[in-house]
């Protein structure tokens, strides 16, 4: 992808060869047909500064620009402290705290991360909708990415869909994991209609999880986990399936008297920038409750 500028609303591509029309060229830039139709209908696509027909053939050196209009988000803004790891025109990267829902639901209309981000956008005159690229469960902490425009959301989602994003987690599980490392390749499906609980199901979606034992304690193990697919509850289901459920996971294990949630933290995530071929690596420090639990097991 050959981009020429850094601008909050305008994204400019350089045409490096002839023979493609406008629609074909932008498809090569991974612009979805849906987004193309919307931008074209709004007359927010330009060639060398002018709006042209979509079937026009481009010439080498042409500059193709897409304009992202300002947006309004109807999420109720709420002031809260956000742990921001990184921000540019296209993304906001956060360290998500524990016990917080990512976006409003019927049972959680307020005090969600979306409410806090909406307030941050409003205070900083960022006229964008809140678009989460990845999701973390309410009780999981760590790196979370928010796209700041439709093009960025699409480009980042493509990276996740292609499994080209590196995602690593730290977790504490029950029992002594004997193998130093292992790969869990088991399909995951829903237990039953209407249930949030997932199970290993041969008719489910393929899921790949690799783990490495960082440390062993008397009756627990500290694991470094990397996922190659993004199934709902993937790590929780996979570790439970091998007999080592996550400590504090009330859905797949039992509640713990030492930690008030599942001991699962997304500590590392690497993606490519939206507008250039550069990898960004984000790390989120271990939260206090997991650090305390590790110290307890070591003592």
The residues annotated as belonging to the active site are 137
Segments in the chain forming alpha helices (H):
22-28, 33-41, 113-123, 150-161, 234-241, 288-298
Using left for φ > 0, alpha for ψ between -120 and 50, and beta otherwise, residue 210 falls in: beta
Do 129 and 73 form a contact (C-beta atoms < 8 A)?
A: yes
Q: What are phi and psi of 234, to 5 degrees?
A: -55, -55
Do 250 and 260 form a contact (C-beta atoms < 8 A)?
A: no
Q: Which residues pair with 142 in a beta bridge?
A: 96, 266
Do 244 and 174 form a contact (C-beta atoms < 8 A)?
A: yes
């Amino acid at each position: 992808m050959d981009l020429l500028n850094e601008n909050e609303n305008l994204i400019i591509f350089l045409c490096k060869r002839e023979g493609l029309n406008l629609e074909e060229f932008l498809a090569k830039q991974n612009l979805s047909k849906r987004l193309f139709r919307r931008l074209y209908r709004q007359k927010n696509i330009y060639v060398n500064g002018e709006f042209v027909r979509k079937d026009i053939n481009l010439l080498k050196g042409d500059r193709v620009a897409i304009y992202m209009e300002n947006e309004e988000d109807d999420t109720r803004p709420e002031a809260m402290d956000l742990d921001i790891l990184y921000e540019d025109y296209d993304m906001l990267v956060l360290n998500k705290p524990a016990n917080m829902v990512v976006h409003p639901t019927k049972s959680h209309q307020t005090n969600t991360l979306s409410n806090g981000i909406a307030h941050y956008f409003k205070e900083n005159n960022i006229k964008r909708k809140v678009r989460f690229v990845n999701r973390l469960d309410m009780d999981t902490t760590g790196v979370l990415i928010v796209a700041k425009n439709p093009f960025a959301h699409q480009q980042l989602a493509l990276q996740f869909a292609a499994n080209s994003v590196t995602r690593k987690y730290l977790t504490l599980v029950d029992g002594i994991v004997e193998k130093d490392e292992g790969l869990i390749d088991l399909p995951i499906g829903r237990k039953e209609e209407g249930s949030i609980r997932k199970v290993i199901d041969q008719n489910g979606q393929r899921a790949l999880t690799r783990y490495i034992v960082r440390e062993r304690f008397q009756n627990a193990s500290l694991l470094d986990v990397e996922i190659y697919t993004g199934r709902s509850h993937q790590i929780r289901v996979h570790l439970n399936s091998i007999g080592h459920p996550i400590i504090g996971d009330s859905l797949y294990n039992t509640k713990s008297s030492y930690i008030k949630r599942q001991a699962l933290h997304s500590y590392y995530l690497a993606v490519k920038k939206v507008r250039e071929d550069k990898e960004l690596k984000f790390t989120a420090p271990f939260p206090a409750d997991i650090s305390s639990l590790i110290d307890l097991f070591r003592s």
